[in-house]
Chains A and B, each alone.
Chain A
Amino acid sequence: MSRSQSISSQSKSLKITGEEIWKNKVEKVNSELFNLTYGSIVSQLCIDYKRDFKKVNEQLFSMGYNIGIRLIEDFLARTALPRCDTMLRTSEVISKCAFKVFLNITPTVTNWSQSQDTFSLLIDENPLSDFVELPMDAVNQLWYSNILCGVLKGALEMVQLDCDVWFISDILRGDPQTELRIKLNKVLKDEIPIGED
């Protein structure tokens, strides 16, 4: 009982941390600017790759990865959160702090695997996909927000969590919800900076 209590109180304070940082410590821009810029990138990629949406997905993922490995520094400098001891904690930090600070949304964490190493993020209001309707030929192939998977993969890797990140459903494809899955492969123990106990 005390364990679940302490986890809930921790996640509550994480929520407060995330909200306070977002509110008082982060400069804001109009989200439309952000989401239209992303839209123009994706549509240009579709043209460049001649509507080969598999390649577009890959390209978005690698772009996201390159963002993630840099964005983690911003996140850590801003929050100075201590290292996560469990994946449970990691999921809370991602949804309540990271998504809040950078996208101002709080995805729901759900669908834990038995071994507590895989979970889903339900993204209710995906700010990337406002105003978007996928063309007929893209509906079953393109993961429009695939850049998010790359960002998460890159950022987690920089804090020594080797994860797989992928979409399993997207409202844009006609699914009831947008679900992003994160699976921890392993903790890269050798790469944890020495000096941390």
Chain B
Amino acid sequence: MALDSILIINKSGGLIYHRNFEDPRQPAKESDISKMNSNDYLILASTLHGVFAIATQLTPTAVQLKANSSASGSDASAREMDSVKSEEYSTVSSISNSSIASATGGAGGVSNTAKVPGPGALGPNKAAANILNQGHRHLGSVSSGKKDGNNGRAQISNLTPYIPYVGMPHNNIASGGNSSANSPMDMGSFKGDDFFKEPFVSWNTSGIRHMSTDQFTMFIYQTMTGLKFVAIKNNQVVGSPSSNTTDIVGGIHLADNLLRKVYCLYSDYVMKDPFYSLEMPIKSTTFDEKLQQMIQNMNW
């Protein structure tokens, strides 16, 4: 576990939750982040909110031009952009493997991914493994596509592949998603062994999604209601793979999967608490525990 903190920021830019996680592999070592007090966190949160807003206003001219040309749909890249756009309005379940391929757009990745049959055609065990493979292949093709730098933005922003069992108990993976094996995670109002099983469209299309320094990496997931979930990952933990440019997109997808699950927890344990007032700081021990459990299961 190399996740340092989870922050939740409400739509007006106020911090409503922050939590640091101790790393069992690095006991009793004061990291810089633990020196911050709650006021610092409040300032950090509203600064993030502001920087996020500024970032949405700054778009590379190439992307602006592309967005314009996609309206006419003249050249191939424009059509690709178009398909990504239209995906925004199709449902999550309808996004097939082929559209994942079109979203990634990487020349090498497309043919590979398109040949993979839909998960529905296989048994549950095979399907899980298949999705996993497909996920990796997908990530691979994205990062290779990103190197030519043309449509990196469109690729990252729209579709997040489902990565199986992020933050879920590990025995689920070993048993291939067989829920009859002891499933210790209580899913609240959600049924099954994972919160969701489909790739999904990110609502955050032009804001900051990822920030990387030599010390830590930060991921932001924004919901349609304007809530921001922020995960801060420590790069300095022994044994964790160092972040390099090729796994940035993979990291974003992983973080989006995790943070959507945190959102699921939020919708259950915060929204359904009658004594919680909206937009106010979260003081829920159940939410704390569930989150802790999820982060512990997270093998980053």
Identify the A interface with B (CB < 8 A).
9-10, 13-14, 16-17, 20, 24-28, 69-74, 76-85, 89, 158-159, 191, 193-197
Contacts and interface: CB of A to CB of B under 8 A. Distances in A.
B298 to A, nearest CB: 18
A13 B226 CA distance: 26
A9 B190 CA distance: 28
Given A80-B260, A197-B206, A26 B190 contact: yes
Given A78-B196, A159-B224, A69 B266 contact: no
A108 to B, nearest CB: 20
Contacts of A89: 89
Given A69-B278, A195-B222, A78 B264 contact: yes
Nearest to B273: A70
A195 B52 contact: yes
A159 B223 CA distance: 10
B53 interface: yes
Contact of B201 (A80, A84, A158): A80
Nearest to A71: B271
For the residues of B in contact with A, the DSSP-based class is loop
A83 B203 contact: yes
B200 A13 contact: no
B205 interface: yes
Contact of A194 (B53, B196, B201, B263): B53
B89 A10 contact: yes
A82 B90 CA distance: 8
A77 B260 contact: yes
A26 B189 contact: yes
B18 interface: no
Contacts of B200: 80
Contact of A73 (B89, B190, B266): B266
Interface string B7-40: 0000100000000000000000000000000000
A193 B52 CA distance: 11
A107 B271 CA distance: 26
A84 to B, nearest CB: 8
Nearest to A26: B191
Contacts of A72: 225
Nearest to B53: A194
B61 interface: no
Nearest to B225: A158
Contacts of A193: 11, 203, 222-226
Nearest to A22: B191
A94 to B, nearest CB: 14
Contacts of A158: 225
